[in-house]
Structure 1
Amino acid sequence: MEKTEKIAIFPLGLVLLPNMILPLHIFEERYKEMISDCIKNKTNFGIVYYSGNDFHKSGCIASTVSIIKEYEDGRIEIVTEGKERFKITKIYNEKSYMEADIEYFDDQYELDGEAINLAKVEGLKLLQEIMKIYNENFDFSLVDHLNPKTVSFLIAANGGFTMEEKQFFLETINTKERIEKGVKSLQIIIDRLRVSKGIEKIIQSNGYLPKKHD
């Protein structure tokens, strides 16, 4: 039987993924009450993607890892971390904020471990390449020991993906499918970044292409 639970729900215009760090500035009255209740009761809440037209039923648990600042008017700045994924089974509107019964879900067990590990290595290489394009340094020895599922969400959290793509990654229960799609999409993002950087260099050189030397 699936593990079920009743939790507070926070609809947002973004997708929270497992292990993802998300700072939040809470200012709306009902969500100030929600966060206050969660902190007081030491409970987590769920974040679901709301695009304005579509309210998704699959989301991710947000755990408050630190309180940055509390204001006199009740506003609060917190840092959250994505945990388990869930599906909403029933919605309650008994409080100022939404609550829901949820069922947790996870990736299915996969037999083709070698293919998944190869995709994981390729994904980390592409993430490193993106860092180089942005002239950012990151010690990938800190993450190369991570399991493929964790790496697949690390790839999915990349800023180059749309919210719809991130929602797909969230809902996918096949690690191999998620990581392979992530790798394929990362390559497209890198190609676009290279073109963008090339155009930027041309603009910085007053629009003149570099001359070829014989």
Structure 2
Amino acid sequence: MRLILLGPPGAGKGTQAQRLVARHGIVQLSTGDMLREAVRNGTPVGLRAKAVMDAGQLVSDDIVIGIISDRIDQPDCSKGFILDGFPRTVAQAEALDSILAEKGLKLDAVIELKVDQAKLVDRILQRARETAARGEPVRKDDDPVVFKTRLEAYNRDTAVVAPYYAERGLLVAIDGMRPIDEVTQAISDVLETV
């Protein structure tokens, strides 16, 4: 099973991806996590990406596409994967189509979590408070100013990815403002039909 989760930052893609991983035994490929790991490890890609990520901007396509292509080749992706945070642009979606075709693979579904963007800032502030209360470091991109920059970038660049997949008959929209368990069930209902 090969899936993409779409939606603005804070929509719950990461939470739903973790649940899909546990239920289906597939791998979550979060470009944000992969890039943050590269930053933590001080890799060349991480060093190039750090300044861009700290400013709340998107990392260049060539870096992200290379990371995804290499990652899909890993043995743990043989049963499938969930892409969370990629593709972020139509150019990346087209590049992903090419990568998958070269590897003899195809997507099974693209699930878009639709959310009320006006309420997302409150959701992110709550997430930051809960993270801090657990004694964990708060992610830089959970800062309200950085988050608003990321949301603007999503609306400018990434929102057009959903129509790209809708034209290919792969897109299913789900109300991401519902309680987490209801969103999980709605996703499971979709996956039973693919």
What TM-score do the two structures reach when normalised by structure 2?
A: 0.31
Relative to its length, the structure with more helix (as a share) is 2
Q: Which has the higher strand share?
A: 1
Higher relative contact order (Cα pairs below 8 Å, separated by 6+ residues): 2
Query: Whose Rg is larger?
Result: 1
Give the TM-score of the pair, scaled to structure 1: 0.29
